[in-house]
Chain A
Amino acid sequence: MARGAAELSEQYGDASLTGISQFDFRRLIETTADGVLVVDLSGTVLYANPAAAVIFGCPVADLVHIPLGRPIISGETTEITVHRPIRPPAEVEMRTVELSWDGRPALLASLRDVSAHRAQQERRRQSQKLEAIGRLAAGIVHDINNLLTVFESGLRLLRKQLREDPANPNTAMLIEELLKRTQNGGALTQQLLAFSRGQSLYPETIELNGRIKAITRLLERTLGNGISINLELDPGLGPVVVDANQLDVAILNLAVNAKDAMAGTGMLAIETSDTPGDIEEMPALAASFVRVTVSDTGCGMSKEVLAKVFEPFFTTKGDGRGTGLGLSQVYGFIKQSGGHIRIESAVGEGTSVHLFLPRAPRTGNDELQMQVEIRPNTCE
Chain B
Amino acid sequence: MSVSDRSSPGANGLLRLYIAGDAPGAHRALANRLRIMEELAGEVEIQVVDVLAHPDEAERTGILATPTLSDESTTPPRRLIGDISNIAQVLDYFGYRKKDSGYDHS
Chains A and B belong together in one complex: yes
* Contact in complex: A81, B25 (CB < 8 Å): yes
Query: A148 in the interface, Cβ–Cβ < 8 Å?
Result: no
| Max chain B C-beta neighbours (<10 A), residue from A80, A104, A203 | A80
A113: chain B residues within 8 A (beta carbon):
none
- Segment with Cβ contacts to B, from A25-33, A128-136, A324-332, A362-370: A362-370
| A80: contacting residue among B3, B25, B34, CB under 8 A | B25
Interface size counted on chain A using CB atoms at 8 A = 45
Tell which of B27, B53, B66 touches A371, judged by Cβ atoms closer than 8 Å.
B53
User: Is residue A238 within 8 Å, beta carbon to beta carbon, of the partner chain?
Assistant: no
Q: Say whether A68 contacts B22, CB under 8 Å.
A: no
Q: Mark B59-78, 1 if CB is under 8 A from A, else 0.
A: 00011111110100000111
Contact at B20–A241, with CB atoms within 8 Å?
no
- Nearest to B63 among chain A residues (CB) is A83
Chain A contacts with B in 88-110, Cβ cutoff 8 A: 89, 91-92, 94, 96, 104-105
Chain A residue contacts of B24, Cβ below 8 A:
79, 202-203
Kindly report which residue of chain A lies nearest to residue B17, judged by CB atoms: A368
A79 close to B25 (CB less than 8 A): yes
Closest 7 CB pairs of A and B: A69-B79, A72-B82, A67-B76, A78-B83, A78-B82, A202-B22, A81-B20
Chain B residues whose CB sits within 8 angstroms of the CB of A374 once the complex forms: 53
State whether the Cβ of A66 lies closer than 8 Å to any Cβ in chain B: yes
* A204: Cβ under 8 A from any B Cβ: yes
Q: In the complex the two chains form, what is the Cα distance from A43 to B86 in whole Å?
A: 18
In the complex, whether B14 has a CB less than 8 A from a CB of chain A is no
Task: Tell me the minimal C-beta distance from A185 to chain B in angstroms.
Answer: 36
With a cutoff of 8 Å between Cβ atoms, the chain B residues found around residue A363 in the complex are: 30, 34, 48
* Contact present for B50 and A42 (CB under 8 Å): no
Q: Known: A79-B25, A364-B34. Contact between A68 and B82, CB under 8 A?
A: no
State A363–B47 Cα separation when bound (angstroms). 11
Which A residues touch B70, using CB under 8 A?
69
Task: Verify if B51 is at the interface (C-beta below 8 Å from A).
Answer: yes
B50 close to A70 (CB less than 8 A): no
CA distance A71 to B84 in the complex (A): 10
Contact yes or no, B1 A41, CB < 8 A: yes
Chain B residues lying within 8 Å of A70, measured Cβ to Cβ, are: 79-81, 93
State how many angstroms separate the Cβ of B87 from the closest Cβ of chain A: 11
Set B27, B66, B79: member contacting A241, Cβ < 8 A: B27
Q: Kindly identify, within residues 17 to 68 of chain B, every residue whose CB is under 8 Å from any CB belonging to chain A.
A: 20-25, 27, 30-31, 34, 48, 50-53, 55, 58, 62-68
A104 — nearest CB in chain B belongs to which residue?
B1
* B89 is an interface residue with CB less than 8 A from chain A: yes
Cβ of A202 and Cβ of B23 under 8 Å apart? yes
Q: Are A72 and B66 neighbours in the complex by a CB distance under 8 Å?
A: no
Q: Considering the chains assembled together, what is the distance between the CA atoms of A43 and B63 in angstroms?
A: 12
Q: In the bound complex, do residue B48 and residue A375 qualify as a contact, i.e. CB atoms below 8 Å apart?
A: no
Q: In whole angstroms, how far apart are the Cα atoms of A71 and B25 in the complex?
A: 14
Chain B positions within 8 Å of A73 at CB level = 89
30 contacts between A and B (CB under 8 A): A41-B2, A42-B3, A43-B76, A44-B76, A69-B65, A69-B70, A69-B79, A69-B81, A70-B81, A70-B93, A72-B80, A72-B81, A72-B83, A74-B86, A78-B25, A78-B82, A80-B65, A80-B81, A81-B65, A83-B55, A89-B20, A104-B1, A202-B23, A202-B24, A361-B27, A361-B31, A365-B48, A372-B50, A375-B22, A378-B52
